[in-house]
Amino acid sequence: MNKFDWIVVGGGITGAALAYELANQGVSVLLLERDATLRGASRYGYGGIAYWAGTTELTRQLCAEGIAIHRSLTDELESDPEFRELDLVLTVPPDADIPAIAQAYQAFAIPPQYVERQPACELEPLLNPEAIAGAFTVKHGHVNLRKLVEAYRQAFINRGGTLEIETATAVLKGDRKQVQGIQGRQNTYFAENVAICTGALTRLFLRQAGIVIPQYFTHAELIETPPLEIKLRSLVMPAETQRLQLEARASQAEIDSLWDHPGHEPVSPILDAGAVQFLDGRMRLGQISRALTDPFAPIDAAASETAIRTQVGAILPALQDVPGTWHHCLIAFSRDSLPLIGPIADWENLHLFSGFSNPLAIVPALARRFAKQAAIAKIDPLLKQLSPNRFG
């Protein structure tokens, strides 16, 4: 019977980064991932790294640490995740309250700067000048998220880690609420510690063990194109995004119990019209966010695709009718937009590493801190602020 120091459940960006950093500390690590081909949020994410967007001492520090790691990951992982820094163009509609938006941006570590319509269109020539008053702009990190996950996984294996394509079905519980490992669909796996990195499915997975955590998810919808000859210079998003407001409304304590029952939609869906192009010419257009409590809820793909094309087309007319396919994934989040990291109350060897609203900016730094804390068995004061038990 093999027994590992750590089992990491979930091989997307959070699990892959955490498994790699744990292996770097010289411990034995098993990474369990259900899909041989990358799926979910790590497959369809935009790849944006909003390192400028820290608004507190905690998030500013994490963003600064995160972008420093990103800038060296190509060499460290010996693989190219296509890291770059490009212009983020945050479009402002003609009827917007520009001073109010500018004031809100002053809270960020690097506040985006406002430019009028003409310089905005010089930054991004595909913009429709009639649809905007101007834009806010700031430098923004970007990676090919699929390649980044693959790079983390391969580097993990190169450092002695074990990757198994296996569906985790349950937490193995011993006496006194002590976790012994993970039951998979095919095999049983034992470990001294277990880290759950299953993203949006984390709440559902842990509920089977009688553990309820304050984590939620949205259904994110987007259109992915094949490689196009059209060139988008920047990453385009609205200056007033609605996703974070949706997350805040959908995770209020008084409606928390709805998330344990499918069939509810606590708040109405939103659409933040944006677009990004990868180095191979592919684009992603989106996105609609829905707070549906059933992770397997049916969605009208045709209606969603039409809505995305219409709103993106209003801002970027050349993209309205490009070839592309509708896709859908789940995005995890917490009640306060901060991740849930650390041991679950009364389960000291069962850990969370999930619930990231701004993952790429902070996952690398938090994975590194988590692994170092585990190696030296000394609490990191920064990680303590992200405890899953902070909501009581």
Domain assignment of residue 390, yes or no: no
Domain assignment of residue 379, yes or no: yes
Give me the mean pLDDT over the 98-117 stretch.
97
Say if residue 235 is in the same domain as residue 201: no
Cα 178-184-190 angle, rounded to 5 deg = 40
Say if residue 362 is in the same domain as residue 223: no
Q: How confident is the model at residue 348 (pLDDT cuts 50, 70, 90)?
A: confident
Q: Kind of pairing, strands 113-116 and 134-142? A: antiparallel
Whole-number pLDDT of residue 47 = 96
Q: How confident is the model at residue 177 (pLDDT cuts 50, 70, 90)?
A: confident
Say if residue 253 is in the same domain as residue 379: no
Domain limits at 232?
A: 84-142+215-334
Residue length of the chain: 392
Closest CA to 20 of 109, 112, 152: 152
Please state, as a whole number, how many other Cβ atoms lie within 10 Å of the Cβ of residue 92. Answer: 25
The pTM is what? Answer: 0.96
pLDDT tens, 350-385?
Answer: 999 999 988 899 999 999 999 999 999 889 999 999
DSSP 200: G
Is the pLDDT reported for residue 2 higher than 70?
yes
pLDDT tens, 36-70?
Answer: 998 899 999 999 999 999 999 999 999 999 999 99
Please state, as a whole number, how many other Cβ atoms lie within 10 Å of the Cβ of residue 264. Answer: 16
Say if residue 124 is in the same domain as residue 242: yes
pLDDT tens, 223-257?
Answer: 999 999 999 999 999 999 999 999 999 999 999 99
Name the token pair of 304. 């969603």
Whole-number pLDDT of residue 201 = 94
Say if residue 232 is in the same domain as residue 249: yes
Please state, as a whole number, how many other Cβ atoms lie within 10 Å of the Cβ of residue 215. Answer: 25
Give me the mean pLDDT over the 326-348 stretch.
93
Whole-number pLDDT of residue 44 = 94
Say if residue 165 is in the same domain as residue 297: no
Say if residue 167 is in the same domain as residue 48: yes
Helix/strand/coil for 12: coil
Whole-number pLDDT of residue 346 = 86
| Buried-exposed string 8-23: b where 16+ CB fall within 10 A, e elsewhere | bbbbbbbbbbbbbbbb
Whole-number pLDDT of residue 50 = 97
Q: How confident is the model at residue 173 (pLDDT cuts 50, 70, 90)?
A: confident
pLDDT tens, 312-334?
Answer: 999 999 999 999 999 999 999 99
Say if residue 206 is in the same domain as residue 93: no
Question: Percent of the chain at pLDDT above 70?
Answer: 100
Domain assignment of residue 237, yes or no: yes
Q: How confident is the model at residue 297 (pLDDT cuts 50, 70, 90)?
A: very high
Q: 219: domain CATH number?
A: 3.30.9.10
Tell me the helix, strand and coil percentages in the chain, rounded to 5: 35, 30, 35
Distance CA 377, CA 54 (A): 28
Q: Which of 293, 309, 334 is the C-terminal boundary of a domain?
A: 334
Region for residue 40 given its phi and psi (left: phi exceeds 0; alpha: psi -120 to 50; beta: otherwise): left
Distance CA 64, CA 53 (A): 10
Name the token pair of 275. 């677009």
Number of domains in the chain: 2
pLDDT tens, 134-143?
Answer: 999 999 999 9
91 near 132, Cβ under 8 Å? yes
Domain assignment of residue 389, yes or no: no
Give me the mean pLDDT over the 267-285 stretch.
98
Q: How confident is the model at residue 302 (pLDDT cuts 50, 70, 90)?
A: very high
Q: How confident is the model at residue 209 (pLDDT cuts 50, 70, 90)?
A: confident
Q: How confident is the model at residue 1 (pLDDT cuts 50, 70, 90)?
A: low
